[in-house]
Structure 1
């Protein structure tokens, strides 16, 4: 994104952000509750935070739940860095259980501490931590949930209240100092991580995983692959051997397939919102473990397979799965350029539809480039974590197509002359919809934000 556009947003506090995305916005919220809260134009301008952490609209407040480098209350070490994907699960007496990814590679600022029974590869520095928070947003416990993994970017919750954490890497044993292959999905129990341990779900594939979404009716898991360089990533579905799922059931194996849109080799070539493809195909992945060849390089037959650059956020809403392409750049080899797309796949109709296109980059009235983590808001709207250059925001999107600012990061990790801000990640809401939890990637910070979400 151009510095000029960022500067304008920073000066205005994203005031007047009320122009719709291109596309059929109501379709994004198919099957969700009627939109409430946020009015027609959001919650108002962002108010500068005197503490210099998080700007919010009037009437909202935040509490810092956790910050990298501080001691873990469990005594297992320090709170790891690089806070990324996250989900919230219901607990007793109004409590909330959070599971949070740490996208640590090698030589991270604060690695995830190795804990017996929860460590996959002693050389891995990534993993997850689990927090339990009471109704007053006080942290009751915080501990390691899985360790010894790598590059835990996003993932997703399951209908049976576990978290699937995804490794965004393809490094194998012997590479990068690792002692085991990486690039897997792991299941994490937010209530008692030792019940799930550190077991890779190998049948779900070994590739640069980003996020997942589960069809609650069938247990089918949809997976995105975040690949920046060609050949770009694929959109997958995993059909488990035990269709309705349950904790540990994904270890029983299943069938991994990749999406093929006939005559479309690159989703970026589709530019018109509302464009729909009926009867798309699912093709078996030749070698899900990528023993010799990364999956996206594999031979899917003479008709090929459909790729897309930077496939990231993924969620289930209504009767469909939605997934995000954060951006596409022709200079990187994409068929065309865009600043972000949201796609919808309807399994019953076998129909894929381009719902929303972000941008254009030059229009200061529209939200920023590179949509990443996304979630449904309490009133049926959408929350979008921005992952671009310059100022970083969480934006909201109403059914009417109104874009509004929700939060802006104020922690400068650059210099006064060349400021930089860490991206937002892991946006999620408490089961009672009264609290938004969100992470700042760096410095790793987890916030609980309260206010008139459904005024």
Structure 2
């Protein structure tokens, strides 16, 4: 990095989950009209080990297992719950019930892949691969049914809910028609291109058509802009590192149920983010920023993608490094009424960190719609012990690898860890502290898809391996409100 740019950015600082108060956006609400968090947060109590050895929680909190891979049954004779639970959204179904739409991040040939159900299949050659299921539960976490909503997709990682109560599921892959897949003694050839976003409904009326206007790449997560004319998308990729995108609808188009699916493949404008520095140059990678820049807004320019379906070259490879701002593992995305949060999980791998950049164990950003600026609101400095998992000896005091993110009904954040050592669910206040609110006691598998019910009663979260959906209840408002 040129010395002039280094001088513009300043030096980093040490600590865990650093943030600065007063220099961040107001905590935009998931549900306008609910109280915003105060500046004085009641810390979550220490986590208490679970006698069952599954989930450590603060005193007074409890959990129920909603689904379990290979154990709980699907409706309509469709088999049993698929594996690799990942992103999900929850919607109020009335009468104390909730509807969950859930991703399964499976590659073809998985032991418990999503079964092909007539009318739900995108690519018939992607057997026992990814997809989504729809789950009905109540406030106690009682399983009231689950069925397949889309199948024949690949590696459905995260996605995002829409204001019209559907789910956008994202394929984190760049597989092409004609590519072969192999798993154990099973193999096949893809009949269709993959790496798309699909819209999924909770009513069982599947429409497994890709939303091609949002591009074909290793999609991670997505959020609908507040005016329903824009979509924000993250890319979890390296070699080169991934990008953060904005899609803008054609003039006169407002998004609603099924609109994205019906649009032409070249509809609207897909563009990649470029963070602009004081001298007018483009920040080449987010890893050049450190905790010294917490709360500082940077202008953003959006650079149009030349060929969004990536038929000749991966989308991220279509840009020179001085055109856009890259980041290793652009992950969770969640929209609010003021802007959108986006997460970078970590960057410390040799060969995947830009020259002279600073290793880190996680970043949370906030992009402001109206101002068209982005700012770092939470920063996890790199701890070398995180690389080999030895930081786990510090229990619930060290955090790394934030992945999925959600905004709580009170405006604060919940992050799911996918790092080294013990995995946590974290409560994070932009401009304030970060607390552990759950720990995986079963293994070192990541947490995925945290999502709150609109009434603030239940936090649903997934443990990807062995494939558990958990309903966590307790005095949330005391600690998050």
Q: Which residue of 463, 473, 478 maps to 1:440?
A: 463
Q: Deviations over 1:258-294 (max 9, x none)?
A: 112242111111222233322x211211111001100
The answer to whether the Cα contact below 8 Å between 2:140 and 2:471 also exists between their aligned partners in 1 is no
Is there any run of 5+ residues in structure 1 with no aligned partner, and where?
1-17, 413-420
Aligned to 2:424: 393
Residue 296 of structure 1, CA deviation? 0.5
Q: Deviations over 1:149-182 (max 9, x none)?
A: 0000000001111100000000101112211100
Residue 307 of structure 1, CA deviation? 1.1
The answer to whether the Cα contact below 8 Å between 2:125 and 2:191 also exists between their aligned partners in 1 is yes
Residue 330 of structure 1, CA deviation? 5.9
Cα distance, 1:167–1:46 mapped onto 2, change above 3 Å: same
Query: RMSD of aligned C-alpha atoms?
Result: 2.2
Residue 137 of structure 1, CA deviation? 2.9
Cα distance, 1:330–1:54 mapped onto 2, change above 3 Å: closer
Residue 373 of structure 1, CA deviation? 0.6
The answer to whether the Cα contact below 8 Å between 2:282 and 2:323 also exists between their aligned partners in 1 is no
1:285 is aligned to 2:268: no
The answer to whether the Cα contact below 8 Å between 2:448 and 2:462 also exists between their aligned partners in 1 is yes
Residue 52 of structure 1, CA deviation? 1.5
4+ residue runs over 3 A deviation: 22-26, 36-39, 362-367
* Equivalences for residues 297-376 of structure 1 within 5 A: 297-299=317-319, 303-329=322-348, 331-335=350-354, 336=357, 337-361=359-383, 367-376=398-407
Is there any run of 5+ residues in structure 2 with no aligned partner, and where?
1-14, 30-34, 182-188, 276-280, 386-390
Residue 360 of structure 1, CA deviation? 4.0
* Equivalences for residues 69-108 of structure 1 within 5 A: 69-70=70-71, 71-108=73-110
Residue 380 of structure 1, CA deviation? 2.5
Aligned to 1:249: 259
1:296 is aligned to 2:316: yes
* Equivalences for residues 410-425 of structure 1 within 5 A: 410-412=441-443, 421-425=444-448
Moved more, 46-55 or 443-452: 46-55
The answer to whether the Cα contact below 8 Å between 2:219 and 2:234 also exists between their aligned partners in 1 is yes
Cα distance, 1:326–1:29 mapped onto 2, change above 3 Å: farther
The answer to whether the Cα contact below 8 Å between 1:225 and 1:312 also exists between their aligned partners in 2 is yes
Residue 110 of structure 1, CA deviation? 0.3
Cα distance, 1:36–1:100 mapped onto 2, change above 3 Å: farther
The answer to whether the Cα contact below 8 Å between 1:437 and 1:446 also exists between their aligned partners in 2 is yes
Aligned to 1:66: 67
Aligned to 1:113: 115
TM-score normalised by structure 2 residue count: 0.83
The CA distance in 2 between the partners of 1:284 and 1:39, in whole Å, is 41
Residue 354 of structure 1, CA deviation? 1.9
The answer to whether the Cα contact below 8 Å between 1:218 and 1:244 also exists between their aligned partners in 2 is yes
The CA distance in 1 between the partners of 2:430 and 2:214, in whole Å, is 34
Aligned length: 424
Cα distance, 1:409–1:154 mapped onto 2, change above 3 Å: same
1:181 is aligned to 2:193: yes
The CA distance in 2 between the partners of 1:293 and 1:63, in whole Å, is 46
Cα distance, 1:290–1:318 mapped onto 2, change above 3 Å: same
1:129 is aligned to 2:133: yes
Residue 240 of structure 1, CA deviation? 2.3
The CA distance in 2 between the partners of 1:400 and 1:181, in whole Å, is 42
Q: Which residue of 273, 298, 314 maps to 2:294?
A: 273
Q: Which residue of 239, 242, 265 maps to 1:233?
A: 242
